[in-house]
């Protein structure tokens, strides 16, 4: 089970300060949508250069012009780019085609998806990685991640990541569902001691991986 640290609503300097402290305890680095909008592809390039051995996720949240945006993300050094599940099938297929040609991957963000039928359609398109996602605004409205797992239950051949206000307190309930990747943002990036927060979460996940 991977820990993906989500760098969002941060300055470039803050991103690198957090990564310097947390790098030993995280597996995947997500360059968040807000950071990409602020700094463009250059911030992905800089993180790739600084952390050549980490998996880098560009949270592009693509919903159109899939081929172009996938090329942008991968050329900048991302290993994975994100595409919204409500996008047109052609958009999704175009990004998958670009990813396959470069040995990269696409993570389909299920934000706003409530029907399992759409997940089955995505699998038929060739999708192998999805993100179960409660958005920031939905979190503030009190929605929780637990029911998200219903979307992928019983569907084989899909790797899953889960995101949405996960904290050290809620993490045990998440890992019981055995997602492949746990995406953690402010519980690490806004912690008084990001290194200790990441260390504690990595320790909990590692314990579950061994059990």
CATH number at residue 88: 3.20.20.70
Phi, psi of 161 (to 5 degrees): -115, 155
Distance CA 162, CA 145 (A): 8
Instruction: Give pLDDT, residue 144.
Output: 52
- DSSP-derived secondary structure letter, 128: -
Instruction: Give pLDDT, residue 94.
Output: 98
Residue range(s) defining the domain that contains residue 66: 2-210
pLDDT, mean of each 10-residue run, the chain (211 residues): 97 98 97 98 98 98 98 98 98 98 98 93 98 61 61 94 91 91 97 98 82 55
Considering Cα of 122, then 101, then 33, then 18, what sign does the dihedral take?
A: positive
pLDDT digits (tens, 9 = 90+) for 83-97: 999 999 999 999 999
Considering Cα of 72, then 74, then 79, then 83, what sign does the dihedral take?
A: positive
Distance CA 24, CA 91 (A): 35
Q: Indicate the pTM of the whole model.
A: 0.93
The count of structural domains within the chain is: 1
């Amino acid at each position: 089970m991977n820990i993906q640290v989500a760098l969002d609503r941060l300055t470039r300097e803050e991103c690198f300060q957090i990564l310097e402290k947390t790098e030993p305890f995280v597996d995947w680095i997500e360059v968040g949508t807000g950071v990409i909008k602020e700094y463009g592809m250059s911030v992905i390039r800089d993180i790739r250069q600084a952390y050549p051995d980490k998996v880098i996720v560009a949270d592009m949240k693509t919903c159109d012009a899939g081929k172009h945006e996938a090329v942008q993300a991968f050329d900048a050094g991302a290993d994975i780019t994100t595409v919204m599940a409500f996008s047109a099938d052609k958009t999704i297929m175009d990004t998958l085609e670009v990813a396959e040609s470069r040995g990269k991957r696409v993570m389909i963000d299920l934000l706003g998806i409530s029907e399992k039928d759409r997940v089955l359609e995505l699998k038929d398109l060739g999708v192998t990685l999805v993100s179960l996602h409660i958005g920031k605004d939905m979190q503030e409205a009190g929605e929780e991640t637990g029911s998200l797992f219903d979307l992928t239950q019983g569907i084989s051949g899909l790797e899953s990541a889960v995101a949405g206000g996960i904290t050290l307190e809620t993490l045990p309930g998440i890992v019981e569902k055995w997602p492949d990747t746990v995406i953690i943002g402010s519980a690490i990036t806004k912690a008084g001691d990001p290194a200790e927060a990441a260390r504690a979460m990595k320790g909990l996940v590692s314990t579950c991986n061994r059990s």
